[in-house]
Chains A and B, each alone.
Chain A
Amino acid sequence: MSFVFWLLAAITVAGGLAAVLLKNLVHCALALTVVFAGLALLFLQLDAQFAGFAQILVYVGAVAILVVFAILLTRSSETPKDGGVFSRTWGAGLAISAAVFAVLGWVVLQSEAGLPREISVPNVTVLQIGNALMGRYVLPLEIVALLLTAALIGAVIVAMHEKGDAK
């Protein structure tokens, strides 16, 4: 395992922890951005260039901004909450996620022997991706397009001011 991998992994995990643990919501959003970026770099390291750049474009460029916007728009209830930012029964949640990680980790470590070793670097061009999108994966593409359209319209409608609703 290379040093780059460990570095990137550390950054990503730290960012994730920060995103989940920080009190200030904006800080959480920014930490989330760091996670996205880290992941993009990990994609690049995995020779999935298209995926990495798509990650940056979409996640960092759009989703993170969305999150920030949402935080800003729901700021009025920023008064100090009673009981803190964590739910009263945060122990159960922690325990469950710990269990999940334990299961997943155990599975991975157990089946280490069956996992493939070094493989030659794949050479993937955008042309290939494009062909694949328009060829083999044309149906999912169209469906995703439809889904995005619906999501767009739906989000607008959901967040729209209703008549007679005070702003």
Chain B
Amino acid sequence: MFTPQITESAITGILWLIPALPIVASGLIALLKQPMRRLSATLAIGSLSCSLLLSLFAFGHVLVGWARGSAVRETVNFTWIQVGTAHVDLGWILDPLAAVMLVMVTFVGLLIFIYSTGYMAHDENYTRFFCFMSLFAGAMLGVVIANSLLLLFMCWELVGLTSYLLIGFWYQKPLASAAAKKAFLTTRIGDVFFLLGMVWLFAQTGTLLFYNAGMGSMEALKLGGLLATPSGLGLTAAGAIGLLIFAGAAGKSGQIPLHVWLPDAMEGPTPVSALIHAATMVAAGVYLVARVYPLMQAGVQFSSTGEAMGTTTALTVVTWVGAVTAVFAALIAVAQNDIKRILAYSTVSQLGYMMAGLGMGGVAVGMFHLITHAFFKALLFMGAGSVIHGCHEEQDIRHMGGLKVEMLGTFIPYAVGMLALCGFPLFFSGFWSKDGILEAAQHWSIAKTPFYMLVFGALLTAFYMTRQVSYVFFGNWRGRGEPYESPSVMLMPLAILAFFAIFLGAIGTPAWPWFRAFLEGHAARFDLTGFRDPGLLTLMATSSVVVLLGLAIAWWTYGDKRVKAEDPDTLERAFPTIWTLLEGKFYIDELYGVTVIAFYAWWARVADWLDRRVWGGIVAGIAWLFREGAQLSRLFDLNWVDGGFDKGCEELANSGGLMSRIESGRVQIYLRLLALAVVLLTAILIWSSRG
């Protein structure tokens, strides 16, 4: 079990450089001029290479620690905001989970960057592309090393932003900008719940750090507190917060019902699809669930062997959502005709597998599939990009065909990736990782339905992938012009990833469960007796049969047939109604259109009316009042004050004029007045003295 080391090592101290370098590179590239392509690519690739090196160092450090038997979990925390006694901390963490993710993200990212230099060579916005990609890489690495839910959230949002920027890279295309908006808004809905969960967690535990020398929110003390607090609906606070955070993960990872943005996100350039929507960003949701797994799993009792007995509500929800997503997306993928869209739905389906794996089998199971999936999905996307490139930007598989001859360098890695995805037995990593999930599903105490769903999903996966490969690489060429192979700068990464797609499985076999051991902090032995588990061999056989069955059916249906581009699909002819339903993606988008979006539009209209009529009216009314008041004041001023004053002055002047008539200048008048005054005074005097 874990004996966590709290002391900081050198590598952990500089761990922040790993996300910082690409972000700085992004900033620098933003300052460059458009024609400075080489420099921008160099900055991006260079910074990510440095990050890769540092990640390898970190991984090595953790590996050494693990080999010595002391598990590594090092954190660096610092206070960011202090308000009175409450304070919000940020920090980063280095533990096995973070280490593997770091290596995967930097490595796959670097390969995709190199690939992009070839793919985007004809695009004039090359520099902007690398700026955004670099920013994305930095943000994703930030998500990986974050030890604080707040820091994770901030980098999460940044990842969402760069995803928006990159999906809408060709913003002149209205479809692309619409897809970007859709992606952003849909993930936003998930993020709202995420934020709620975060705030609740902070309110309950007073900290957002994951690990903080026993005081972190993922550590026993705080978890105990969360378990003791009931929330509504029969959940504890732990369960409720876990579900809220899962809602955020569901948005980012394209689970039902927030999956609608992922297929549309294929409007972005293919390297974007490869990096963001296959390997990394969508995996961020899975990574998040893995990170807060202690919270999700809080309350579960552990047996003496470290096996979890029973499960929580949160994990059950995760499992069901994952299983449903897996099957749902796989069904839709069967009926798609865009090469990237098939892969997109495949990603959604595989993410469902990962979530189900997390729910039923624990962190190691889900994460293993995430790692293997990253490699072969990136490979598949990049291969698709190569195909699109070679078919003169054609993306419809009905207009491709027979490419295995002209594009052999693309075909071979693509085939490897496809087999890995299907889970072809034994030699491909996908088999081992998917089997891990299936095994966990088989032993799941709550229900067996997810197991059957996942098996059915495996069948479908094999089917649609074979269909795609037949349409693209086999049969006759149905496109315009002549296809051509891509340059080696694009093929090299494919080859490298193909290698990993095959051999990465070795770290997760039951004979040598190294991955699980590494993550969970116990020793791993190479032991073929691991296969002795009776259920295990049956399971392996079952899954192999299923995969081969799927491959066979698809090959028999589509095979190496020569078809015309306009020909309807064989299945379409056979089951037209089902085909239309699947091709229309179960009309989920349309459903949203008439319900959520329509409601929102109505609400926007109401708000607009309110704003213009009511608030605007009030404001206008107040303004009118003020104006009238000002007018009144003006009138008052003009007539009373000014007028009064003017009148007064006028009268004064008049009276002055009148008075000045006394000054006639004539002596006799003065004399008369004098005499009159004397008379009057005398009279008054006499009168007053008499009285």
Contact = CB atoms under 8 A, between A and B. Distances in A.
Interface of A: 87, 92-93, 96-97, 99-100, 103, 107
Given A87-B668, A96-B672, A107 B686 contact: yes
A100 B674 CA distance: 11
Contacts of B675: 96-97, 100
Interface stretch (B211-219, B426-434, B676-684): B676-684
Interface of B: 668, 672, 675-676, 678-679, 682-683, 686
Nearest to A98: B679
Q: Chain B contact residues: over half helix, strand or loop, or mixed?
A: helix
Contacts of A92: 672
Given A87-B668, A93-B668, 4 more contacts: A96-B672, A96-B679, A100-B679, A107-B686
A103 B679 contact: yes
A87 B669 CA distance: 10
Contacts of B676: 96, 99
A103 B672 contact: no
B239 to A, nearest CB: 115
Q: Chain A contact residues: over half helix, strand or loop, or mixed?
A: helix
B686 A99 contact: no
20 contacts: A87-B668, A92-B672, A93-B668, A93-B672, A96-B672, A96-B675, A96-B676, A96-B679, A97-B675, A99-B676, A99-B679, A100-B675, A100-B678, A100-B679, A103-B679, A103-B682, A103-B683, A103-B686, A107-B682, A107-B686
A70 to B, nearest CB: 16
A96 B675 CA distance: 7
Nearest to B673: A96
Contacts of A107: 682, 686
Contacts of A93: 668, 672
Nearest to B674: A96
Contacts of A96: 672, 675-676, 679
A96 B682 CA distance: 13
A92 B672 CA distance: 8
A40 to B, nearest CB: 27
Contacts of A97: 675
B673 to A, nearest CB: 9
A107 B686 CA distance: 8
Contacts of B679: 96, 99-100, 103
Nearest to B668: A87
A76 to B, nearest CB: 21
A144 B33 CA distance: 114
A26 B682 CA distance: 36
Nearest to A90: B668
A96 B677 CA distance: 10
B685 to A, nearest CB: 10
Contacts of B682: 103, 107
A100 B668 CA distance: 16
B671 to A, nearest CB: 8
Nearest to B686: A107
A103 B678 CA distance: 10
Of the candidates A87, A96, A107, the one having the most CB atoms from chain B within 10 angstroms of its own CB is A96
Contacts of B668: 87, 93
A96 B669 CA distance: 11
A136 B350 CA distance: 143
A30 B364 CA distance: 151
A107 B687 CA distance: 11
A87 B670 CA distance: 14
Contacts of B683: 103
A100 B676 CA distance: 8
A96 B678 CA distance: 10
A93 B682 CA distance: 18
Contacts of B672: 92-93, 96
Contacts of A103: 679, 682-683, 686
A103 B681 CA distance: 11
Nearest to A106: B686
A96 to B, nearest CB: 5
